[in-house]
Structure 1
Amino acid sequence: MGLNILSAWAGVYTPTLAQNSTYYNPVLKGWNSDPSCIQVNGTFFCVISTFISFPGLPIYASKDLVNWKHISHAWNRESQLPGYSWATTGQQQGMYAATIRIHKGTFYVICEYLGSGQTAGVLFKTTDPFDDKSWSDPVRFVANKIDPDLFWDDDDKVYVATQGIILQEIDINTGKVGTAKELWNGTGGVWPEGPHIYKRDGYYYLLIAEGGTGTDHAVTMARAKSITGPYEPSPHNPHLTNRGTNEYFQTVGHADLFQDTQGKWWGMALATRVGRNPNSYPMGRESVLFPVTWNTGEWPVMQPVRGKMNGWALPVLNRDLPGDGPFNSDPDKYDFAEGKPIPRNLVYWRVPREGAFAVTDKGLQVVLGKNNVGGLPGGSQPAASTISFIGRRQTDTTFKFSVDLTFSPQETMQEAGVTAFLTQNAFVQLGVILNNQQLSFRFNATGQDILSAVPAAWVDKPIRLHIEMFTPNEYTFSAMLVSDEKTKMEVGKAPITLLSGGLGSSFVGTLIGVYATCNGAGSELDCPSNAPKAYFTRWRYTGGRQYYSATEFIPSVGSNGMGWN
């Protein structure tokens, strides 16, 4: 049974806490921050922040709360928000924290898009969250603050609550919003945000995040008899936090609460696995599950977030879900057969240019982009579209990734390769590049290139590129001739601190993937017309160890118990 943190503070507040099952956090591994979740007929659905990665706002579904299938993206086509992505130059702008809700059979995802210079509020709708195409073009609304919540009252009035904490009535068909009303400013922590409203036992309960995104992050609550207040702060605040502790999971906050089919309450929040090292969390902010005891008329009790959790009896393990997306924890085994779609868990950094990526009879074809992955857009906003990069979330503390590259550069500085990518300001890459008529490996971990010759026998032959983490602290980049595993050679290493960003300063997490570039050659937005295409096949990602404390781990899904297939 979990520790009753409220009893330690309030003395007499000691309801029975959840028990009967054991599971491990995070349940949504890798960069999956700001979760919002609901339960519909025994299936749980969550939406996650994605900032400028695209497709954005992934929808995950689960029958058992531990196996989460990636079923769609609410923002999945350029026509939904024309020009927004390419106008966004900031690395941590884009789709901020969303809320998912269902009302009368329609699913809604509400969010705010920052950085485009246009109307920021967006509200997507669907009756089939398992189908990308079913997500509507968004209803746009004026939102001056981030983190919108969506709440239907008993009189069918609909409200949006945002950072601040500000409440407005909203017309979900036109986007028209009413007069702003400030509800509550939290308990004194900075950045009161991430509001969610629940109506229960005659009260409107307001749950928020405050304290910023670093180690002071916390969940606090207030309640009122009227939706517009006045709101009475909970005497048990903060209801959830790991601040002031040495716990492995830190920055716990930005939560949402929901019930299972047995009426038991659960919550999902974000957390980072940093322990006592604030610069070592390459997977960024992940989603953690915690049981909640919420007795009639009382304040909820949220079990503190740990790596190994004891909670309510979980639903029976069940991976029987519709849709064609992968499960979050599963390994990748993609051969890119012609006619097959690009797998759903692979994402771009902004909307890609039309035709930049295609599955062909030669594998995943990537057209060289004008900018390298670190090439920030200049005065021309559409330059943001000229990065040819695609990747998947790093979802494991240790892992192995490899992909086969077929690439024959014709002019100097034409390049293709693999990268561990946090933002355009923080990445590590290993490329095959033509440099002064010499085919070379280019390794870049600190902004300074290290060049080494590709063996002459490898020229014009497929090369397998590797990114591996044998320990939780370091990336290893290697290469080999596809036809001969004995040729494998290490090219470079990089510490995870390069992809962690400093505590609280990085909203995103590491993506593992591939890129192709002409490194600025050509004119306007295009590489030279004779630039070759890069082809990638045999994409493999396999998790090794999944740490749930500084010293304890479980084997990742797909591993053989020793950490690898």
Structure 2
Amino acid sequence: MRFLRSTLTALLAAAATTLAQNSTQNSTFLNPVLPGWHSDPSCIHLNGTFFCVTSTFISFPGLPVYASKDLVDYKLISHAWNRESQLPGYSYATKGQQEGMYAATIRYHEGVFYVICEYLGSGQLAGTLFKTTDPFDEKAWSDPVLFPAGKIDPDLFWDDDGTVYVATQGIILQTMNIDTGEMGPIVELWNGTGGVWPEGPHIFKKDGYYWLMIAEGGTSWDHAVTMARAKNITGPYEPSPHNPHLTNRGTQEYFQTVGHADLFQDAAGQWWTVALATRVGPFGSSYPMGRETVLAPVTWNKGEWPVFEPVRGNMSGWPLPPRSRDIPGDGPWNSDPDEYDFPEGSSIPSNLVYWRVPRDGAVEVTAEGLQVALGRNNVPGSPGGSDPAAKAISFIGRRQTDSTFDFSVDLSFTPNAAGQEAGITTFLTQAANIQLGVILSGEQLSLRFNATEAQNKTTPLPAEWSGEPIRLQITMPSPTKYTFSASLASDESTKIEVGSASTVQLSGGSGSFVGTLVGVYATCNGAGSGLDCPEDTPNAYFNRWRYTGISQYISQTESVPTADFNTV
């Protein structure tokens, strides 16, 4: 009995030691790791740096590439699609608000980075394969190798014999010549477990198996990650008995729509997954940031099916790499605030994006600040026209990356005719946006507020504001409400609160695949002809652009100050 007691004591002590060691080794972090609209993530690891790409649809520049040393801090280092000459005419030919660059995959092979994607809506060859040997240099991304792609979400996989395969929605497989775009015959692999829209495939080779991971169930509340494996890449594929491997469907979790995942290893050989998720709660209606990127640890023992940790706001898992921001390039970190004053000769910050490729001269940095030329189209895209470029709007913005935030910008603008307008907007699509603009109403400068709750509400500005820079501001007192206000740039005590709007109108609907952008616009509301406003139309000038995150919600009832989110 004494022997048993001492043995039990030793076992308990050993177990306690193991638990203590594991607790000190485990890391904790908060989701989402890439907050704001970052859907359909794909990541790789190379020599201590993680590289990720996400979807962008018709926003431009497209396919942002982020780099991270620690899986927590992500720096925007380039865009694979960054110039009109790479895909001439594609952007203006695209009509739908959720067409354009769908889900991409990033991979590395023999010194070259590859981003493969499908561009929908151009009426031309849809498959695009971008290449570079230096992802930190935006100009180094190649013109794409174009290939016929009848399905979305292409994956890129090199087999041991050097054969390159592309798997796409369906789930189908083809060989590919990555220099010419020539595709081999279609092989049907696996149609999932019965969920709608089997898509987003990724293939991995490990322990003598080809492992196929897909998304199915649609990209909303039934979204899930399922897996199958085979001894040969063309199959037959054996479904996992543990499907779905990752989902939050049917739960009360704050993070919903979890799916469209990728797998990668860190320098220690531990496995991780990135996936998209929406901070909305079960069947909620307010989620303006749309689909964001989340991270979770994965246990993948030899020959066994991988085990994914469920996605939550507060995560624990493998030890994270040491925190580091030692990454080349001058792009911003996704979690950092914007402080842009647009000095003459500076570049437009790389985290600011357009809705389609902008017209030449639409947005420029000048001696007077960020110059935005008024366009004939208003923010919804009216009046449009038959010319392909008539789809463009004079808009530039950044992702809303926080549950609550403060955004302000100083506007210098002297309209000389009715219809001329410049201002700020929270923008999901051209069919879903909220605007606060400066207009000329008769002889009076006024503010025009346009939201579901207040259609074209006009507020006269004090006479002493005429000719002075005006500070326009958007604040979020809660994750469900935007408040728009204006003041003299030189005196914030003059602030006028113009109106408030629910975030529900920027959640789903015409933009279920995308997320809210916060930015500025300028329009002559259809005056002029062709593509141009009248010749005497003034430009709008924006200065002192500021975006500061206030809080990040990690559950329906818990929030963390942005300044403390994933801090050391």
Q: Normalised by the size of structure 1, how large is the TM-score?
A: 0.94
Please state whether the residue corresponding to 1:85 is helix, strand or coil: helix
1:10 aligns to what?
none
Q: Deviations over 1:470-491 (max 9, x none)?
A: 1111000000001111101100
Query: Given that residues 330 and 558 in structure 1 are in contact (C-alpha distance below 8 angstroms), is that contact kept between their aligned partners in structure 2?
Result: no
Matched residue, 1:203: 209
| Displacement after TM superposition at 1:535 (Å) | 0.3
* Equivalent pair of 1:418/1:429 in contact (CA under 8 Å): yes
- Residue 367 (structure 2) pairs with residue 361 (structure 1): yes
* 1:71 and 2:73 are equivalent in the alignment: no
Answering whether residue 461 of structure 2 is matched by residue 454 of structure 1, we say yes
Alignment equivalent of 2:480, drawn from 470, 473, 486: 473
Structure 1 residue 455 displacement after superposition? 1.1
CA contact (8 A) 1:18 1:312 kept: no
Structure 2 unmatched ranges of 5 or more: 1-21
Match of 2:471 among 464, 471, 477: 464
Counterpart contact for 1:386–1:525, Cα < 8 Å: no
Q: What is the CA–CA distance in structure 2 between the aligned matches of 1:520 and 1:228, rounded to whole Å?
A: 55
Q: 2:308 aligns with which of 293, 302, 308?
A: 302
- Between the aligned partners of 1:87 and 1:147, the Cα distance in structure 2 is 21
2:542 to 524, 536, 547: 536
Q: What is the alpha-carbon distance in structure 2 between the residues aligned to residue 384 and residue 188 of structure 1?
A: 42
SS in 2 for 1:240: coil
In structure 2, the CA distance between the partners of 1:125 and 1:377, relative to structure 1 (3 Å rule), is farther
Contact in 2 for aligned 1:91/1:423 (Cα 8 Å): yes
- Deviations along 1:220-241, one digit per CA (max 9) or x if unpaired, are 0000000000000001000000
Render the CA deviation track for 1:414-435: whole Å, top value 9, x for unaligned: 0000000000000000000112
Give 1:163's aligned residue.
169
Residue among 122, 132, 136 paired with 1:116: 122
CA 231–119 in structure 1, closer or farther in 2 if over 3 Å, else same: same
Q: Give the AA of the match of 1:470.
A: P
Q: How far off is 1:379 after superposition?
A: 4.8
Aligned residue runs from structure 1 range 170-319, under 5 A: 170-319=176-325
- In the alignment, what sits opposite 1:9? none
The letter of the residue matching 2:359 is R
Equivalences for 1:30-179 in 2 at 5 Å? 30-179=36-185
**Aligned residue number for residue 558 of structure 2:** 552
> Quick one: distance in 2 between partners of 1:376 and 1:218?
38
Give the aligned residue type for 1:238.
Answer: P
Distance of 1:460 and 1:379 partners within structure 2: 34
Residues in 1 aligned to 2:440 and 2:412: alpha-carbon distance in whole angstroms: 14
Contact 1:416/1:516 (8 A) holds in 2: yes
CA distance in 1, matches of 2:389, 2:461: 31
What amino acid sits opposite 2:160 in the alignment? D
CA distance in 1, matches of 2:218, 2:140: 35
SS of the aligned residue for 1:457 comes to helix
Q: Distance in 1 between matches of 2:180 and 2:24?
A: 42
Contact 2:356 2:392 in 1 (8 A): no
Q: How far did 1:17 drift?
A: 12
Closer, same or farther in 2 for the Cα pair 1:384/1:245, shift >3 Å? farther
Give the number of the structure whose residues are more often helix, by fraction: 2
CA contact (8 A) 1:160 1:168 kept: yes
CA contact (8 A) 1:94 1:113 kept: yes
Counterparts of 1:466 and 1:166 in 2: how far apart (Å)?
Answer: 49
1:527 and 2:519 aligned: no
Relative to 1, partners in 2 of residues 1:151 and 1:18: Cα closer, same or farther, differing over 3 Å? farther
Does the residue aligned with 1:410 lie in a helix, a strand or coil?
Answer: coil
**Cα distance in 2 for residues equivalent to 1:521 and 1:381:** 16
CA distance in 2, matches of 1:130, 1:57: 14
| Count of aligned positions | 544
Separation in 2, partners of 1:377, 1:37: 41
Distance 1:465 1:277, change over 3 A: farther
Query: Is the CA contact 1:31–1:286 (under 8 Å) kept in the aligned structure 2?
Result: yes
Q: 1:334 aligns with which of 331, 336, 340?
A: 340
Deviation of 1:310 after TM superposition, in Å, equals 0.5
- For residue 413 of structure 1, what is the aligned residue in structure 2? 419
Aligned to 1:241, the other structure's residue is in SS state coil
Letter in 1 for 2:408: S
SS in 1 for 2:93: coil
Q: Max radius of gyration: which structure? A: 2
Q: Retained in 2: the 8 A contact 1:412–1:437?
A: no
Task: Give the match for residue 506 of structure 1.
Answer: 512
Partner of 2:18: none
Q: Give the aligned residue type for 2:197.
A: W
Separation of aligned partners in 2, 1:381 and 1:185: 41
Identity rate, percent: 73
Measure, in 2, the Cα distance between the counterparts of 1:317 and 1:55. 29
SS at match of 2:286: coil
Q: How much does 1:380 deviate?
A: 1.3
Equivalent residue letter for 1:328: N
Q: Does 1:492 align with 2:499?
A: yes
Shift of 1:386: 3.2
Distance of aligned partners of 1:138 and 1:444 in 2 relative to their CA distance in 1, 3 Å threshold: same
Q: Distance in 2 between matches of 1:112 and 1:236?
A: 31
The letter of the residue matching 1:236 is H
Measure, in 1, the Cα distance between the counterparts of 2:448 and 2:74: 37
Deviation at 1:153, TM superposition (A): 0.3
Alpha carbons 1:93, 1:115 under 8 Å: kept: yes
| 1:482 maps onto 2:489 in alignment | yes
Q: CA deviation at 1:440?
A: 1.0
Which digits, 9 at most, give the CA deviation of each residue in 1:255-303, with x for residues without a partner? 0000000000000000000013531100000000000000000110010
Q: What's the CA shift string for 1:473-521, capped at 9, x where partnerless?
A: 100000000111110110010001010025x961000000000000000
Q: TM-score, normalised by structure 2?
A: 0.94
**CA displacement at 1:439 relative to structure 2:** 1.4
Match of 1:516? 522
Q: Which amino acid aligns with 2:129?
A: L
Q: Is the 8 A contact 2:36 2:399 kept in 1?
A: yes
Cα separation, 2, equivalents of 1:454 and 1:81: 44
Question: CA distance change for structure 1 residues 205 and 256 in 2, over 3 Å: closer, same or farther?
Answer: same
CA contact (8 A) 1:87 1:384 kept: no
8 Å CA contact 2:251–2:282 kept in 1: the answer is no
CA distances 1:21-80 after superposition (whole Å, capped 9, x unpaired) = 100000000000000000000000000000000000000000000000000000000000
Give 3-state SS (helix, strand or coil) of 1:448's partner: strand
Task: Indicate if the aligned counterparts of 2:153 and 2:200 stay in contact, CA closer than 8 A.
Answer: yes
